């Protein structure tokens, strides 16, 4: 067992004798008017003078809020509602309408904490976009209040935004576990303006005060990367539990089982709300153990005859370890291909999270001397990512790897929605070149690592939250998770399905989902530029890709704005110039006519001309061809 491993430890601060209202684990409560008796946990189990709800419980605060004013007899019996800004506001900047770009913000008083700061890979209709990160404009001007960013584990949908946004957030400390810290540090090196990474390592038995209103306790869960944790956040109004990506594994590899005892302990002290991973909420049963995954993998590998090429994610370190184990057992040497793959394995190995026998790993020059059945290549690209190794191999663009007859190529992932077509093309291309394809969905980030229905129910049963908020996933996944919660006794009105940016509010009367939204635009990262690609640019790229472009270059006399020569027309991806000489000629005549009709003395003459050309030439081309290329007027003044 690696010494630095983030694992469950002895529980120090919870003993049987302590009551649930132990004041030493609660952060400071907001100031209340002095005369009012302040119950410790007013939101549940409190004596209530109002009429009982039909299920025997007091009215939920949600209903009261929905009903407008609080009736007088309640108002004088309960603590005054906190002033605006003193409520606990919770919203997700991403991850509630997609798998990816996870980020949740908690605000209370002058304290803000952020949980995860991920990225999302683009959809197929976003040409030229590398990935999408979170819109942090809701935090602008409040940077000094950010007490820290908690990063639950090292997957890109949780860490990917860090180098892009850390500086913009005022470089708050980053609370995370050692392996995640290693990955973050390495990634930071790749960015010039990545901000200042101030890592605070967390341990599962240590509570961290974050500002006046928050305290954070990590707890160990399982996932398919080591060092993943869930976060218990103590607030003035109760404890929130964020599961992060999780599964329960009673026999994990290189890891400890999830700390069920601790999770149950949180549950016994009354949980205000549970925010739980919905990625696999539509799958029945229990998630299989990593041990089973390893065994199944080994069977596939044993049956492969020639060379093995496995496409996976570079951050799927548990899976990479299993592949290496299987290779060692079946007498294969392993070539790790791809920079991120090598980086991550090196980090994990240095920290003791991965064990690789000496002699197992080889370099590319060793490939020639080894027979194919002694080789396994582990590389990136199972999702058809355009720059990843597998794609380069398929396109015969790889420096030294190409498909050989009898190669077996394992796709280690079920396809992320939106990537289906690309992955199918990739497979076609590989099969055509003689490879055999094995698709093994259990090895995936998006299935193998996440709790299924029975596990999700267990999490709810253990934590016994008052409110339940399904997170991480598309809407249908969240809805499926909601049904599960209701089936294990959470009242329907206490389940909040929020959109990205939709604010939930909690105070001592309870919680509710507001109609208040913060911005959650897609911030697109293109090459090394962040956010300079807007939806307009994207629309233009799509238009160019689909319909081509039509450039009109006109040269004007600077003095009087008169046309010099004839307009030049360049078209790309639209029509063959030669075959459409007539069309081009007609367009040219139209451009001349537009110029003649305008008075060059009017203000903003150039803009006017450009707009007219775009509009009228666009119309004209559409009427002739039924296509809408992008019309690009260029004016040169001489
Ligand atoms: Zn994950
Ligand atoms: Zn995730």
- From the CA of 10, how far away is ligand 1's center (Å)? 26
Whole-number Å distance, alpha carbon 182 to ligand 1 midpoint, is 16
Which parts of the chain have pLDDT scores under 50?
1-77, 445-447
Q: How far is the CA of 583 from the centre of ligand 1 (A)?
A: 54
What DSSP assignment string belongs to 250-268? SS-SSSPPP-HHHHHHHHH
Q: What is the distance in A from the centroid of ligand 2 to the CA of 257? A: 19
**Nearest ligand, CA 154:** 1
Q: Give the strand pairing for 271-277 and 238-242.
A: parallel
pLDDT of residue 73: 42
For the chain, domains (ranges, CATH) are: 88-286+449-526 (3.60.15.10), 290-445 (3.40.50.10710), 548-637 (3.10.20.580)
pLDDT for residue 199: 97
User: In 454-558, where do the E strands start and end?
Assistant: 465-471, 502-507, 510-517, 523-526, 529-533, 549-556
- For residue 556, the CA-to-ligand 1 centroid distance in Å is 58
Q: Could you tell me the distance, in angstroms and rounded to a whole number, from the CA of residue 315 to the centre of ligand 1?
A: 9
Q: Cα-atom radius of gyration of the chain, to the nearest Å? A: 29
- Please report which ligand is nearest the Cα atom of 319: 1
Q: How far is the CA of 445 from the centre of ligand 1 (A)?
A: 7
The residues with which 631 forms a beta bridge, in sequence order, are: 550
Instruction: Please name every residue paired with 312 in a beta bridge, in sequence order, or none if there are none.
Output: 380
Distance 119 CA to ligand 2 centre (A): 10
Contacts for 238 with CB less than 8 Å, ≥ 6 apart: 41, 43, 270, 271, 272, 273, 466, 506
- Give me ligand 2 centre to Cα 317, in Å: 14
Separate counts of helices (H) and strands (E) for the chain: 17, 26
Quote the ligand 2 centre to 224 CA distance (angstroms): 10
How remote is the CA of residue 355 from the centroid of ligand 2, in Å? Answer: 25
Report which bound ligand comes closest to the CA of 228: 1
Q: Relative to the alpha carbon of 225, which ligand is closest?
A: 1
User: What letter does residue 443 receive in the DSSP assignment?
Assistant: G
* Nearest Cα residue to 412 out of 307, 295, 316, 284: 316
Distance 69 CA to ligand 2 centre (A): 40
What's the gap in Å between 472 CA and the centre of ligand 2? 7
What's the 496 CA to ligand 1 centre distance in angstroms?
23
Task: Report how far ligand 1's centroid is from the alpha carbon of 591 (Å).
Answer: 55
The rounded Å distance from CA 452 to ligand 2 centre is 14
Instruction: Output the pLDDT for position 392.
Output: 87
Of the ligands numbered here, which is closest to the C-alpha atom of 246? 1
Ligand nearest to the CA of 416: 2
pLDDT of residue 440: 66
- Give the Å distance between the CA of 118 and the centre of ligand 1: 10
- Kindly identify the ligand whose nearest atom is closest to the C-alpha of 183: 1
Ligand nearest to the CA of 313: 1
pLDDT at 602: 76
Considering every ligand atom, which ligand is closest to the CA of 158?
2
Cα separation, 348 vs 185, whole angstroms: 12
Distance from residue 386's CA to the centre of ligand 1 (Å): 22
Query: Ligand 1 centre and the CA of 102: distance in Å?
Result: 10
563 - beta bridge partners?
556
Residue 499 Cα to ligand 2 middle (Å): 17
Residues 6 or more apart in contact with residue 491 via CB below 8 angstroms: 55, 57, 60
Task: Look up the pTM and report it.
Answer: 0.72
Q: Compute, in angstroms, the gap from residue 277 CA to the centroid of ligand 2.
A: 8
SS3 209: strand
* Strand 436-439 to 408-411 pairing: parallel
- Rounded Cα distance between 552 and 588, Å, is 8
Distance of CA 155 from the midpoint of ligand 2 (Å): 6
Nearest-ligand number for the alpha carbon of 247: 1
Q: What is the pLDDT of residues 152-178, one digit of tens each?
A: 999 999 999 999 999 999 999 999 999
CA of 367 from ligand 2 middle (Å) equals 35
Q: Strand pairing partners for 310?
A: 378, 410
CA of 351 to the centre of ligand 1 (A): 19
Rounded distance from Cα 412 to ligand 2 centre (Å)? 17
């Amino acid at each position: 067992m690696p010494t630095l491993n983030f694992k469950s430890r002895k529980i120090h601060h919870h003993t049987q004798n302590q009551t649930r209202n132990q004041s030493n684990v609660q952060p400071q409560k907001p100031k209340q008017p002095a005369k009012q008796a302040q119950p410790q946990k007013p939101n549940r189990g409190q004596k209530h003078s109002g009429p009982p709800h039909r299920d025997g419980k007091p009215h939920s605060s949600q209903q009261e809020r929905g009903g407008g004013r609080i009736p007088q007899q309640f108002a004088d019996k309960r603590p005054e509602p906190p002033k605006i800004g003193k409520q606990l506001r919770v919203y997700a900047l991403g991850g509630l309408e997609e798998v990816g770009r996870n980020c949740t913000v908690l605000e209370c008083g002058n304290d803000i904490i952020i949980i995860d700061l991920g990225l999302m890979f683009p959809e197929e209709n976003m040409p030229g976009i590398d990935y999408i990160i979170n819109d942090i404009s809701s935090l602008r001007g409040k940077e000094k209040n950010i007490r820290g960013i908690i990063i639950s584990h090292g997957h890109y949908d949780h860490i990917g935004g860090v180098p892009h946004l850390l500086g913009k957030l005022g470089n708050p400390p980053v609370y995370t576990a050692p392996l995640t810290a290693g990955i973050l540090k390495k990634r930071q090196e790749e960015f010039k303006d990545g901000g200042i990474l101030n890592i605070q390592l967390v341990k599962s038995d240590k509570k961290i005060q974050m500002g006046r209103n928050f305290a954070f306790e990590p707890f160990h869960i399982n996932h398919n990367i080591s060092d993943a944790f869930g976060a218990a956040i103590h607030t003035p109004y109760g404890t929130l539990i964020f599961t992060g990506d999780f599964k329960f594994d009673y026999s994990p590899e290189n890891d400890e089982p999830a700390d069920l005892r601790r999770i149950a302990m949180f549950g016994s002290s009354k949980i205000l709300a549970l925010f739980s991973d919905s990625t696999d909420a539509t799958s029945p049963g229990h998630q299989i153990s990593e041990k089973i995954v390893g065994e199944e993998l080994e069977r596939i590998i044993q049956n492969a005859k020639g060379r093995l090429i496995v496409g996976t994610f570079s951050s799927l370190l548990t899976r990479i370890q299993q592949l290496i184990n299987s290779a060692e057992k079946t007498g294969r040497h392993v070539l790790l291909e791809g920079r991120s793959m090598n980086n991550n394995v090196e980090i994990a190995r240095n920290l003791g999270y991965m064990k690789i026998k000496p002699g197992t790993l080889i370099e590319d020059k060793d490939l020639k001397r080894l027979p194919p059945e002694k080789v396994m290549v582990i590389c990136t690209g199972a999702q058809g990512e355009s720059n990843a190794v597998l794609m380069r191999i398929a396109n015969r663009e790889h420096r030294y790897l190409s498909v050989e007859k009898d190669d077996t190529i394992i796709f280690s992932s079920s396809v992320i929605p939106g990537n289906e077509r690309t992955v199918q093309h990739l497979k076609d291309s590989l099969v055509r070149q003689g490879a055999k394809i094995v698709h093994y969905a259990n090895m995936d980030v998006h299935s193998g690592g996440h709790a299924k229905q029975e596990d999700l129910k267990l999490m709810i049963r253990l934590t016994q939250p008052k409110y339940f908020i399904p997170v991480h996933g598309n809407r249908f996944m969240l809805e499926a998770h909601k049904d599960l919660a209701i089936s294990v006794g959470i009242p329907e009105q206490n389940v909040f399905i929020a959109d990205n940016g939709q604010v939930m509010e909690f105070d001592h009367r309870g919680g509710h989902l507001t109609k208040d939204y913060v911005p959650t635009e897609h911030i697109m990262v293109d090459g090394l530029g962040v956010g300079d690609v807007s939806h307009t640019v994207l629309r233009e790229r799509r238009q160019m890709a689909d319909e081509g472009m039509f450039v009109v270059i006109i040269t004007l006399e600077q003095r009087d704005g008169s046309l010099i020569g004839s307009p030049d027309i360049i078209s790309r991806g639209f029509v063959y110039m030669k075959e459409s000489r007539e069309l081009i000629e007609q367009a040219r005549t139209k451009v001349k006519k537009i110029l003649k009709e305008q008075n060059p003395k009017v203000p903003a003459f150039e803009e006017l001309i450009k707009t007219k050309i775009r509009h009228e030439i666009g119309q004209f081309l559409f009427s002739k061809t039924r296509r809408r290329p992008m019309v690009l007027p260029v004016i040169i003044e001489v």
